[in-house]
Amino acid sequence: MSTGSRDFIARHGLWDDHRRAAAAELEAALESLDFVRLVFADPHGLARSKTLTAEAFRTVLRNGMDHSPGPFVFDTGHATAVDFTTDGGGIGVEELRGAGDFVLVPDPLTFRVLPYTGPRTGWVIGEEHLRSGAPHPLSGRALLRRLCDGLRERDQDLVVGLEVEWYLTRLTGEHFSGRPGGFGVQGHPPAVEPVNGGYQFNLDGLTDALEPVIAPLTRALTALNLPLRSVEHESGPGQLEFTFAPQSALDAADAMLLFRTATKQICARLGHHASFMALPGIPGFDASGWHLHQSLARASTGENLFTDPGGAAALSETGRHYLGGLLDHAADAALLCVPTVNGYRRTDSRFSLAPGRAAWSVESRGAFLRVLGAHGDPATHIENRMGEPCANPYLYLASQLAAGLDGMERRLDPGGPAADPYDKALPALPRSLGEALDALAASDFYRGVLGAPLADCLLRLKSSELRRYTAWQAGTAQGDEAHVSEWEHREYFATY
């Protein structure tokens, strides 16, 4: 009984037949492993883990693993934002009081063997549970899984395609040489230099010159069974875009967590730094986005429910109502799509094709929601162009699914496509973290979707982040909002 609670998984019936079968295969695979990393996504979407010996992990497959609630209470700068010394841990979760442990239960279906480590190391995603066996109310993965399970009961599935921009830079020093951080104070970011001059969109020569890094990275991602589809060089210096084939929503969120984590680790091993920060504080860099492609399918047949069977319209009636829900909840979902101070810099008019208005269009890259594949195309889907690359994948996807289903239930009409997606007469999307916080705080809808504890937790985490940023601005008398601040670069460049 070295981990978790004796027979926790069986006692609470946490695995179905598929997971029990996968667990048996995983246990057999431990014979050829040295370590296993048990991972979960914190509210910021960052992978937190414990590394166990393969032998110790055998007990985790029965008992789960005790874990500190620290990742739930720290903001992006590791400042304590949730007071776990009070009743209910400050947000109505009694097990947080006094920093009590929760139980992390591996999902055997997510098991991978990392192809780039020295010791033979496995990687598996865990789900957070209370001592009662109930899903932890602060778990983003549990939220998305619950929404997807509800879809399955209707014989429907959310299909998601990932399109992610990120930055590759070259490390200029082998070891950390800056100032360490502290609780609420980030240390120095890694010293880097651009890998090229950029601003030759999709130039084959730029992509080819990065092959010494891209080749081992893409081989590793393929070995991890991530459905990588394409690699291209974007506009900025060393700005890359990776796209992935469509997957079910929970698989796509898990893939995003693993992709970001593995990419940063592999690039570091190759003397480079990968960052998913939307706009690093490096002169000449362009803003990055995470475009989320989504559609609903008939789970039993794979039929695309967004395709108009008559072929006369851009979307089926189901698709139009789903689109209406996304538009209706655009402002209050912003924090779940763009959760950082830095992410809202993409809305600046200097950066083309970043949405600023709650509008939709067919094919137009300037719209918040872009409909692709009109006129009966079986691949018809909706692309959300708001998100930033460091968004929590579980919360980002959950925000979209919940809004779309609400639109279907209320039969919302999205109206016609916008002739000009930048028309100032259209409803504005939040342009700052503060505006996004206010919108989410005022949303009874998302409070119901997230649950009060998770909604309160997110609001406190992001409010703490914003307070530290505004305090830094006041302390330095920095009023130049046209440039990425030192605070932002230190806060996000290394961590994300």
Model confidence pTM above 0.85: yes
Whether residue 352 has pLDDT greater than 70: no
Determine the pLDDT at residue 331. 96
Determine the pLDDT at residue 477. 60
Count CB neighbours of 398 within 10 A.
29
Burial of 338 (0-12, 13-18, 19+ CB in 10 A): buried
Query: Both tokens of residue 21?
Result: 């079968």
All residues at 6 or more sequence positions from 276 whose CB lies less than 8 Å from its CB, including other chains: 164, 166, 167, 260, 288, 389, 390, 496
For 309, the enclosing helix (H) or strand (E) is none
| Sequence ranges of the chain with CATH classification 3.10.20.70 | 8-138
Query: Both tokens of residue 417?
Result: 């496509």
Q: What is the mean pLDDT of residues 36-41?
A: 97
Side chain identity at residue 278, one-letter code = A
Q: Give counts: helices (H), strands (E), the chain.
A: 15, 16
Whether residue 1 has pLDDT greater than 60: no
Determine the pLDDT at residue 69. 84
For 399, the enclosing helix (H) or strand (E) is helix 393-410
Please state, rounded to an integer, the average pLDDT across all residues of the chain: 91
Q: Is 262 helix (H, G, I), strand (E, B) or coil?
A: helix
Q: What is the pLDDT of residues 171-183, one digit of tens each?
A: 997 666 667 777 8
Count CB neighbours of 355 within 10 A.
23
Determine the pLDDT at residue 478. 60
Determine the pLDDT at residue 373. 84
Determine the pLDDT at residue 351. 58
Map tokens 């490096």 to a residue.
Answer: 282
**Cα 53 from Cα 40, distance rounded (Å):** 18
**Cα 249 from Cα 231, distance rounded (Å):** 22
414-453 burial by CB neighbour count: b if 16+ within 10 A, else e?
beebbeebeeeebeebbebbbbbbbbbbebebbbebbbeb
Q: Mention the CATH class of domain 152-492.
A: alpha beta
Q: What share of the chain is helix, strand, coil (3-state, %, to 5)?
A: 40, 20, 40
Map tokens 């930033």 to a residue.
Answer: 388
**Cα 25 from Cα 53, distance rounded (Å):** 17
Q: Which residues pair with 231 in a beta bridge?
A: 242
Whether residue 184 has pLDDT greater than 90: no
Q: Is 313 helix (H, G, I), strand (E, B) or coil?
A: coil
**Residue 402 and residue 151 in contact, taking contact as beta carbons nearer than 8 Å:** no
Q: What is the mean pLDDT of residues 417-442?
A: 92
Q: Residue 144: name the closest of 256, 9, 11 by CA.
A: 256
pLDDT-based confidence at 475, cuts 50/70/90?
confident
CATH of domain 8-138: 3.10.20.70
Whether residue 31 has pLDDT greater than 50: yes
CA distances from 406 to 195, 399, 445 (A): 45, 11, 9
| Sequence ranges of the chain with CATH classification 3.30.590.10 | 152-492
Q: What is the mean pLDDT of residues 204-233?
A: 96
Query: Both tokens of residue 223?
Result: 């070995």
Q: What is the pLDDT of residues 373-416, one digit of tens each?
A: 867 788 899 999 999 999 999 999 999 999 999 999 999 999 99
Q: What is the pLDDT of residues 93-143, one digit of tens each?
A: 887 787 778 999 999 999 999 999 999 999 999 999 999 999 999 999 999
Q: Residue 319: name the closest of 246, 363, 249, 369 by CA.
A: 369
Please state the φ and ψ torsions of residue 294, each to the nearest 5 degrees: -150, 145
Q: Which residues pair with 47 in a beta bridge?
A: 41
Q: Residue 360: name the closest of 371, 349, 351 by CA.
A: 371
- pLDDT above 70: percentage of residues in the chain: 96
Burial of 153 (0-12, 13-18, 19+ CB in 10 A): exposed
